[in-house]
Amino acid sequence: MTRLFRGVFIVWVMLRYGLDKLLLTSFQKPWLRTVARIVSVGRKFDAPRGQRIRQALERLGPIFVKFGQVLSTRRDLLPLDIADELARLQDRVPPFGSEVAVATIERAFNKKLADIFVSFEQEPVASASIAQVHFAVLKDRAGREREVAVKVLRPGMLPAIEKDLSLMRLMAGWVDRLSNDGKRLKPREVVAEFDKYLHDELDLVREASSAAQLRRNMEGLDLVLIPEMFWDYCATEVIVMERMNGIPISQVARLRAAGVNIPKLARDGVILFFTQVFRDGFFHADMHPGNIQVSVAPATFGRYISLDFGIVGTLTESDKEYLAQNFTAFFRRDYKRVAELHIESGWVPAATRVDELESAIRSVCEPYFDRPLKEISLGLVLMRLFQTSRRFSVEIQPQLVLLQKTLLNIEGLGRQLDPELDLWATAKPFLEKWMIDQLGPKKLIGQLRNEAPRYAKLLPELPRLLFDFLQNKRSAPNQGLDELLVEQRRTNRLLQALVYGGVGFVLGLVVMQLIVRVRVF
């Protein structure tokens, strides 16, 4: 019954915002288009379709809001106006009661709140679709009082998302079967992708582990601060981390007033992104302005502060190498090499003509070089690339979806901070250096260092392995000789049969010629 009522409510919201008309008109069945015209009688929808979709998702609740945020990253699948509108979805969800947060904390650690924190702010400082954050003061193992941020998962999230996800799968199936764009939009794959992201975010220990990994990776870079996790107080529903103090990156006027070098901050953001992607293959994939601050403390002045690690992206070595070669070829305007890389990787059919793909990529990218960021829209560039991809049947790579999303976030941050930033010129030296490191002696030394433990274990065994090899080699010749003799006999028999057959054929021809001549005379 609960699922039925939820389904009825979803249908009512769809009717309220006219989503039924938008969906039905995209279906290929003529009778569904007729239904769309009938249901739209008497209803006026003055707002654009993207705005109505966004408002409907907000009305349906946190899970659908999160779905809209994830969907907004799939600019390869959505019309640009809808993707832009969904990108406006923010985590402005009403907070749940502080008494519920306290009960969750006490249940997670089996302690009273007063036994954990010296003080705890009942009013949350931030509330999102998945969790909310409270500030507190914690006494650590050394007895020091530490200012912390306590992230608490919303209650009842898992049952709620399972119900909504089951309905989303059902609707995705309808769109897949009935819509003209069903195959291209891949609604089932999109919902499955959302399912994975959402379940990852529901495990706060996983988020804490991702933060710890990023913190280790960024040590010594002096570009970003990542909060320390207090592992004694990290559980699936609650994590306690170091409280970070900074100015939100969206407040550019405050940053300038504090003396922050804004152009340098923009360049640092590009370097930080490419370092996480290409050096580490492990990157913060939710870098919207709400998750980024800037430190103004004297010791760390001007550094980024990263928050909220529920979504991180990973790349394999082959992904990193492929992407780095693509970016480097782009920066050098070597569009032929870009086309060749697409074919070599199997992203486009092997029969694709290199010159045609090269020409298509050039027409997309060439107009944007040597321009400041204020004159470039990476969103538009990506959209045109996706259109080219469809023309040449380029397969969408799921592992790169988060990277595309993060790249758009980086564009937004860079545009906000320094519209004159030359994104290409900033990234090119880093990528070229990275490519040299991948092919030079540093890479070789690193590989030898990684393999050293295995070599150290193998060296003492070499004498025994050599002895076994020689022993096998002594016994092997007789066996090999026998096999060789058998094969030679078989070959000789075959050759004899061919020779005899050939001689017989020639003799037959001679006899036939003699018979013919006798008849003639």
CATH number of the domain that residue 107 is part of: 3.30.200.20
User: What single-letter amino acid sits at 158?
Assistant: L
Same domain, 366 and 275: yes
Domain end: 52, 67, 90, which one? 90
118 assigned to some structural domain: yes
- Residue among 57, 62, 49, 64 nearest 18 (CA): 49
Same domain, 424 and 280: yes
The least confident of 94-108, 282-296, 371-385, 496-510 is 496-510
Give the active site residue among 76, 91, 164, 286. Answer: 286
Residue 124's Cβ-count burial label (10 Å; 0-12, 13-18, 19+) is buried
Per-residue pLDDT band at 520 (split at 50, 70, 90): very low
Q: Rounded to the nearest 5 degrees, what angle is found at the Cα of 441, between the Cα atoms of 436 and 445?
A: 125
Same domain, 312 and 399: yes
233 assigned to some structural domain: yes
Question: Does the pLDDT of residue 405 top 60, yes or no?
Answer: yes
507 assigned to some structural domain: yes
154 assigned to some structural domain: yes
Same domain, 39 and 108: no
How many angstroms separate the first and last alpha carbons of the chain? 107
Buried b (16+ CB within 10 A) or exposed e, 12-21: ebbeebbbbb
Same domain, 267 and 294: yes
Per-residue pLDDT band at 396 (split at 50, 70, 90): low
If you average pLDDT over each of 214-218, 283-287, 385-389, 501-505, which comes out highest?
214-218
372 assigned to some structural domain: yes
Per-residue pLDDT band at 516 (split at 50, 70, 90): very low
DSSP 81-127: HHHHHHTT----PPPPPHHHHHHHHHHHHTS-HHHHEEEE-SS-SEE
The answer to whether residue 20 is catalytic is no
How far apart, in whole angstroms, are the C-alpha atoms of residue 489 and residue 133? Answer: 84
How far apart, in whole angstroms, are the C-alpha atoms of residue 270 and residue 426? Answer: 7
Per-residue pLDDT band at 209 (split at 50, 70, 90): very high
Same domain, 67 and 110: no
Same domain, 239 and 314: no
Parent domain of 482: 474-520
- Kindly give the pairing relationship between strand 224-225 and strand 304-306: parallel
- CA dihedral for 161, 167, 170, 175, sign (positive or negative): negative
Same domain, 236 and 139: yes
11 assigned to some structural domain: yes
Q: Give the global pTM.
A: 0.68
Residues 6+ apart with CB under 8 A from 89: 54, 57, 58, 65, 68, 69, 72
**Segment 272-318, tens digit of pLDDT:** 988 898 888 899 987 777 788 999 999 999 999 999 898 888 888 77
Question: What per-residue confidence (pLDDT) applies to 92?
Answer: 57
How far apart, in whole angstroms, are the C-alpha atoms of residue 19 and residue 11? Answer: 9
Share of the chain above pLDDT 70, in %: 64
Same domain, 131 and 83: no
Q: Supply the mean pLDDT for the chain.
A: 75
Same domain, 80 and 96: no
Give the pair of three-digit tokens for residue 275. 């370092």
Domain end: 90, 113, 128, which one? 90
148 assigned to some structural domain: yes
Same domain, 257 and 393: yes
Question: Does the pLDDT of residue 155 top 80, yes or no?
Answer: yes
Number of H helices, E strands in the chain: 22, 12
The least confident of 39-48, 62-71, 248-257, 446-455 is 39-48
Per-residue pLDDT band at 432 (split at 50, 70, 90): confident
**Segment 158-198, tens digit of pLDDT:** 777 777 777 777 777 776 776 555 555 567 776 777 677 77
424 assigned to some structural domain: yes
Same domain, 6 and 80: yes
Question: What per-residue confidence (pLDDT) applies to 476?
Answer: 53
**Beta strands in 204-342, from DSSP E residues, in sequence order:** 224-225, 229-234, 238-242, 247-248, 282-284, 292-294, 304-306, 312-314
Question: Does the pLDDT of residue 215 top 70, yes or no?
Answer: yes
Residues 6+ apart with CB under 8 A from 80: 379, 380, 383
**In the chain, how many domains are there?**
4
How far apart, in whole angstroms, are the C-alpha atoms of residue 287 and residue 402? Answer: 11
Domain end: 243, 277, 301, which one? 243
